[in-house]
Amino acid sequence: NLDFMVSLAHTFAKIFKLIRGGILVFVPSYTVLNKIKKVWRANKLFKMLQAEREIFIEEQNVVKSKGMLEDYL
């Protein structure tokens, strides 16, 4: 649902302002993750979120995910 995904980004932006340090978010599948990324990019919500925090997204590829985790840590 488009409205839900947009609302989710705005909710994260509010949470980012309230909580210091890292925040870990889980979604049920890579399919859901890809839909969220697509909506957020189309609506420039990634830029809004990245203004508050650096965003790390796990890749489906294990090798790429290991590198992302090392960057996060």
Residue pLDDT, tens place only, 11-40 = 999 999 999 888 889 899 999 999 999 999
Tell me how far apart the alpha carbons of residues 58 and 67 are, in angstroms, rounded to a whole number. Answer: 9
Residue pLDDT, tens place only, 49-73 = 998 888 888 877 665 666 666 776 6
Quote the pTM value. 0.74
Q: Per DSSP, which regions of 1-73 are E strands?
A: none
Measured in degrees and rounded to the nearest 5, phi and psi for residue 47 equal -60, -40
